A and B are shown apart, each in its own frame.
Chain A
Amino acid sequence: MVRPIAFLAGLVFVAALVVALLMPREAADITAPQIFHKHPRELHLASDGPLGRFDRQQLQRGFQVYKEVCSACHSMSLVAFRDLEDLGYTKAEVKAIASQWVVEVPSVNPDTGEATTRKAAPADHFPSPYANEVAARAANNSALPPDMSLLAKAREGGAAYIYSLITGYAPVPAELKKRFPDAVPPPTLHYNPYFANLNIAMPPPLVADGQVEYGDGTPSTVDNYARDVSAFLVWAAEPKLEARHRTGIAVVIFLLIATTLGYFAYRNVWAGRKH
């Protein structure tokens, strides 16, 4: 009884699929992103690979770029000032960085109870440059600058994508203007082949060498800014990366030894038994 019913059910499913299979398809329109979208350029960071560790000098430079450029629009609300000690800053330095942060932390006046602001302390998370989403959109042609805490994990391609995007602004190709006049960005958007739909609201953030003055002798170039801030964002998204790699090496070595012993125990138990 089961088999005839199953046979009929199978025929119906197959028939529905065959009809769908034979349906003519509408020719899909070719869109501008299909032709002009580029995959991220290669970016090698010290934190790559199973033995990767952060380059703390680079992270500090990247933090400087974030502080002086990105933080004007992008919040990083999951990272606290105290976390900066991971970058090699001392407690005193962290305290200074927090108290000198341009945006202050929302607070309450202890005498009147009125809303006010105070200087940031190491325990505070990075304060957001805008009071709320409406304010952020109002200041950015109704685009919302995303929070940067997890950006390196929240985008396909990770750090390489960020690096490619911020160095990837280009003039609109003549061919695009000719073939896809509708895809040419309006004045409020900017052409960037690494962005999914090619037109990004963010204006080029890093425009000239020397925009950020490095103190450690590293050449102050746009390419370096982009590399360093990408490395910094990898840290911000995954601050425990080094502990993870370190633990992983120890665990895998332990397991290799234990499994080898387990294999010999198995062979020993089965010695002389054909199976």
Chain B
Amino acid sequence: MSFPWAKHYEPKHPLMRWMDEKLPLPRLVYNAVGGGYPVPRNLNYFWNFGVLAGAALGIQILTGVVLAMHYAANADIAFHSVEHIMRDVNSGWLIRYAHSTGASFFFIVVYLHIFRGLYYGSYKAPREMVWLLGVVIFLLMMATAFMGYVLPWGQMSFWGAQVITGFFSAIPLVGEPIRQWLLGGFAPDDATLNRFFSLHYLLPFVIAGVIVLHIWALHIPGSGNPTGVDVKGPQDTVPFHPYYTAKDGFGLGVFLIAFSIMLFFAPNALGHPDNYIQANPLSTPAHIVPEWYFWPFYAILRSFTVNFLWVPAKLWGVVAMFSSIALLFVLPWLDASPIRSANYRPLYRKFFWLLVIDVLVLGLCGVKPPEEPWVRISQFAAAYYFAHFLIILPIISRIERPLPLPASISESVLGGEGQEAAPLGQTA
């Protein structure tokens, strides 16, 4: 599952040799993220975000486990138990703000990771399975984040749960029973809170499991790279350690600085003030908005405002919202271009940036109240979103004339300077 020139694990210390015979865990680590995993030498900083997403999950699990020691999943006292953490638990404010800010930063790095994949064609053969597992992780993250946001039992928690579980009631005939089954009642209440807490604690470990599969699948073909050209020989790669551990270490530092600035100096900037009001089923907030990382999908949901082809608008919205993510599952087969990197796809590159702007516009529409001009803008943006993936991408891959690819990674890096003094990775 690796290149023939990958270095082999050779334990020197007798203890490590003994360990290697009984349980070759160090060997596994060495081959996964150590000197035994050859990686293209030309990765840019956009290849840091996988490791950063892993770090963000680690922060969430660590802080989450401690929060669960103090939190009470009971509709009567959940809100107060969170305030108890903020006021009376030693450094409780730090742990809770790290968890709430950490959720946002998890999504920030995952969105950058996804768009990296879209730009550099990471979803294409032979890495389709890596991409599919990534979409599964993304879906699990969204479910986990949604249920986590319900736990403080503030106004937005309650009404968010009301709105999101309400999606299921759009399904004809069985919708309402499904909604009640999910909630454990007619409206969000104690039963809802308890099951959401249970699942919110479970799903991160499921995510961790799928991440193992994600990395496993990645290691079969090896990492992609900004040129999209396959690795041809040892001169194209460097061992993951120390080269990319060093680079990821620096990237992690930058990530933690940005994270800390938000955590310590603006911990509530990405939250909604209404969630500091205890849930009240009798008082609906003026505008129900989800967390920022759901805004684009919320905008797609709300942009379907007319009944069309005998299907009610609400059902269209729900179907479209789920489809907007589900279509990522078929993306590897929609884009038929054999060229991976957008650097060599002049036409695709333009549409890629259009998509980035489109998603940002959708996000803006998602946070605005459903009034003009935002509804019309969101309808336009949502139409582009679907057209981009389902119509434009397949056409581009047919008509585009790609730029000439470099012969190899090392050629693109060295730019015709010939050989370096020492073969890479040999002296490290």
Residues of A within 8 A of B (CB): 2-3, 6-7, 9-21, 23, 25, 28, 50, 78, 83, 146, 149-150, 153-156, 158, 196, 237, 239-240, 243-245, 247-249, 251-252, 255-256, 258-259, 262-263, 265-266, 268-270, 272-275
Specify which chain B residues have a CB less than 8 angstroms from the CB of A21 in the assembled complex.
376, 379-380, 383
Specify which chain A residues have a CB less than 8 angstroms from the CB of B77 in the assembled complex.
none
Bound: A12/B309 CA distance, A: 9
Specify which chain A residues have a CB less than 8 angstroms from the CB of B263 in the assembled complex.
248
Residues of B within 8 A of A (CB): 41-43, 80, 83, 86-87, 93-94, 97, 238, 242-243, 246-247, 249-250, 252-254, 256-257, 260-261, 263-265, 267-268, 273-274, 276-277, 286, 303-306, 308-309, 313, 316, 320, 323, 327, 330, 333-334, 336, 371-372, 375-376, 379-380, 382-383, 386-387, 389-391, 394, 413-414, 417, 420-422, 424, 428
Smallest Cβ distance from B337 to chain A, in angstroms?
13
Specify which chain A residues have a CB less than 8 angstroms from the CB of B277 in the assembled complex.
146, 150, 154
Smallest Cβ distance from A113 to chain B, in angstroms?
24
Partner of B390 from A9, A154, A249 at Cβ < 8 Å: A9
Bound: A251/B265 CA distance, A: 12
Specify which chain B residues have a CB less than 8 angstroms from the CB of A146 in the assembled complex.
277
**Given A20-B379, A150-B276, A244 contacting B94 (CB threshold 8 A):** yes
Bound: A219/B4 CA distance, A: 82
Bound: A25/B377 CA distance, A: 13
In contact, B308 and A19 (Cβ under 8 angstroms): yes
Bound: A146/B314 CA distance, A: 35
Extra inter-chain contacts (20) besides given A2-B330, A11-B391, CB under 8 Å: A9-B386, A10-B391, A13-B383, A13-B390, A16-B308, A16-B320, A19-B306, A20-B379, A78-B87, A154-B274, A156-B273, A240-B93, A248-B265, A251-B264, A256-B257, A263-B250, A266-B246, A266-B250, A273-B420, A274-B417
Specify which chain A residues have a CB less than 8 angstroms from the CB of B422 in the assembled complex.
272
Q: 9 closest Cβ contacts across the A-B interface?
A: A248-B264, A10-B390, A259-B253, A154-B276, A17-B383, A269-B246, A13-B386, A16-B308, A262-B250
Bound: A12/B391 CA distance, A: 11
Smallest Cβ distance from A81 to chain B, in angstroms?
13
Bound: A237/B257 CA distance, A: 26
Bound: A98/B94 CA distance, A: 29
Specify which chain B residues have a CB less than 8 angstroms from the CB of A50 in the assembled complex.
264-265
In contact, B260 and A272 (Cβ under 8 angstroms): no
Looking at chain A's contact residues, the main secondary structure is helix
**Given A6-B327, A150-B276, A270 contacting B413 (CB threshold 8 A):** no
Bound: A245/B336 CA distance, A: 52
Q: List 17 A-B contacts (CB under 8 A).
A: A7-B390, A10-B386, A10-B387, A12-B309, A13-B386, A20-B304, A21-B383, A23-B306, A78-B83, A153-B273, A240-B86, A240-B93, A245-B264, A259-B250, A269-B246, A274-B417, A275-B43
In contact, B265 and A237 (Cβ under 8 angstroms): no
Report which residue of A20, A240, A265, A273 has the largest number of chain B beta carbons within 10 angstroms of its beta carbon.
A20
In contact, B333 and A272 (Cβ under 8 angstroms): no
Bound: A275/B44 CA distance, A: 8
Residue of A nearest to B313 (CB): A20
Bound: A149/B336 CA distance, A: 58
Specify which chain A residues have a CB less than 8 angstroms from the CB of B83 in the assembled complex.
78, 149-150
In contact, A2 and B273 (Cβ under 8 angstroms): no
Specify which chain A residues have a CB less than 8 angstroms from the CB of B246 in the assembled complex.
262, 265-266, 268-270
Smallest Cβ distance from A84 to chain B, in angstroms?
13
Specify which chain A residues have a CB less than 8 angstroms from the CB of B387 in the assembled complex.
10, 14
Smallest Cβ distance from A242 to chain B, in angstroms?
11
Specify which chain B residues have a CB less than 8 angstroms from the CB of A154 in the assembled complex.
273-274, 276-277
In contact, A239 and B333 (Cβ under 8 angstroms): no
Report which residue of B93, B413, B417 has the largest number of chain A beta carbons within 10 angstroms of its beta carbon.
B93
Bound: A262/B252 CA distance, A: 9
Smallest Cβ distance from A216 to chain B, in angstroms?
27
**Given A10-B391, A13-B386, A269-B242, A244 contacting B93 (CB threshold 8 A):** yes
In contact, A6 and B273 (Cβ under 8 angstroms): no
Residue of B nearest to A17 (CB): B383
